[in-house]
Structure 1
Amino acid sequence: MTMFATSTGPHAELPAFFDVAVLAGGVSAERAVSLASGRAVQAALCQFGHFATLFDPAEIDLEDIAWRNFDVGFICLHGGAGENGRVQLQLEEIGVPYTGSQPLACRLAMSKIAAKERFARRGLATPESISLRAGDPTPQLLQQVARFGFPAVIKPDSQGSSLGVGLVAAPDDVPDAIANAKRFESVLLAERYVPGRELTVTLLDEQPLPVLQIEPERALFDYENKCTPQPGSIRALDESDPVSVAAQTLAVEAARALGTRGLVRVDLIADEATGELWLLEVNAVPGMTARSLAPLAARHAGIDMSMLCDALARAALATEVHA
């Protein structure tokens, strides 16, 4: 397969190697995963031949980085300011090219509520949902969740890695699920639970990589499953599988609806009763650890980690050069 940017591809006019500032860590609930992503990206870029330095925004302000010494910023900040568009906007104000989506697309992808509104406008299938305020009276919350029947899913609006996500099988489960989700934020989402095959599609711009099917031990692919997937729990679908083709098409449409660019991961579910595909969410800053889904999908496409990181940094720099 042909990458959207390589040292010998469409952006070959760029230098063979350049200086990259890898941004990882931060203060969000996903700090540990972010640092792991940043270290993996730093190592991959150096393996390719680039010069990569890791900066943790929890320890240094972005304005204090000597950007004149770097060609591009590689964003590995999961959750919080690194994923809701604030860091991207700050880098634009400084004048630094960066990997991934622009501020508005990041903000839309980060908010599950906002993303679902965009999906609905485009006529893209996404499970019925309702926004909740964690501070509302318990009877009111129970009434809102019960509109979908049970089981249902409760999740924070703007958290990644499935943090705070809970499956409620009955009304008695709702208070505990609300309490768990509101540990991360007060704006929550209740969503109709769709049993079926969990799928994820990684995109390089609008180029889909092999579809991965996730087979977690639990009913939901939660934080623990995502960060420490067990061998055999994730497999690539055959490219000729009709579900694979349909999932890739829907993922591209979801990314277009939000206006994302660069590396994006789209999560879906194939209804076990009807086979219909449902959009769950779009991750504009997907994990880049050794166990993360996006690099795994790239490997199934014959793209190793160093090639992937080179392509992403190169595309970001090329976008700036040709802007």
Structure 2
Amino acid sequence: TLNDEEFITQLQAELTRVLPSYMLPHTVTVIAQWPMTVNGKVDQKALRDLATNTLLNKGIETPKTNMEKALCDLWSEVLCVPSSSLNMSDNFFEVGGNSLLLIKLLERLHAQIGTQVGVEAIYNAQTIREQAQILEGKNSVLPASVMGQYTGTRPTVFLIPGLLSTINLFSRFGAHLNEEGFDCVALRYKYERTLAGEVSSIEAHAQMLAEQALKYCGSQKVIICGHSYGGAVAYELALILQQQNVDSEVVLLESYFEQSKYPSRVIENNELSAEVGITESEQLAIAREYAVCFENYFPSQKWHKPLFCVWASDAIFDAECFEESLKAKVTPQIISTVVNGNHISIFDEQNVTDLARFVRNMFL
């Protein structure tokens, strides 16, 4: 006979095997018997109260900063629970929150604290501590996002978006990689479409993401795929992980270093901005950081393994010219492929199968 802890461990392992990550329960509570109403039916309210009380009765970690105190009070108002019962590590959705209450929390944040943080940033930072770090500007990355089913026993692919895109661009790619036999984890920037004022260099940005990545690095090989600007971050992240004895590979997805040195095949300045739907002001903010961090970037350290590259058939820059530079300055071992589409549409359904197949053929 299993005790409660052993039962929960086995149940969570089985659920992880058969369910996608977004459907997995955060907590499991074992009860001796179902609470019943006077009419002989399962008492749904009593079950909800039991689950909430289980979470709230943990040891309380009190707020340490003014921002944490302010957020604790706002959570208390929105969730209708005493602020004294809230932990800094409580998950908003585990203590009674839902998507509608999250919007309400965001409205209170805008009104009382004056922040203009977006709903996606708050949705993905689900504890008081994480939200406070974002609002205080101390956390330049959002929590990593597992894409599809995560086993921890397969090679892990890290996906890093470019400045002009979000992890949503990887949704089809991640799904196909899952089917091919990889665990997929997206590593994300604080505000996915702009880094203005957040990082001073690509190397520093990679260092920020390394803490998230190391949580998912086991004994299996890791493959770091970076799109556009994310390719530069992927390269620097791989160097960091190699120093931590993590067997790492790098895949550059339409990522060109030292862009000013290579002939451009596309003259329209707003092509990418139109495709990802950003405003002109956002484009200008991104462009400033892009120019500082990326246009003149080139790796300071060589890569002593093959470097994998994916180019679009309708590429922005001359891929052949860029490959010659990589061979001369980074590694003579370049393995590349061309996928139909342009800088963004290589991730469309009709093209992403070829992209995932390339990764499978190289690493499985």
Calculate the TM-score normalised by the size of structure 2: 0.33
| Higher RCO (C-alpha under 8 Å, 6+ residues apart) | 1
> Of Structure 1 and Structure 2, which has the larger fraction of its residues in helix?
2
Calculate the TM-score normalised by the size of structure 1: 0.37
Q: Which has the larger radius of gyration?
A: 2
> Of Structure 1 and Structure 2, which has the larger fraction of its residues in strand?
1
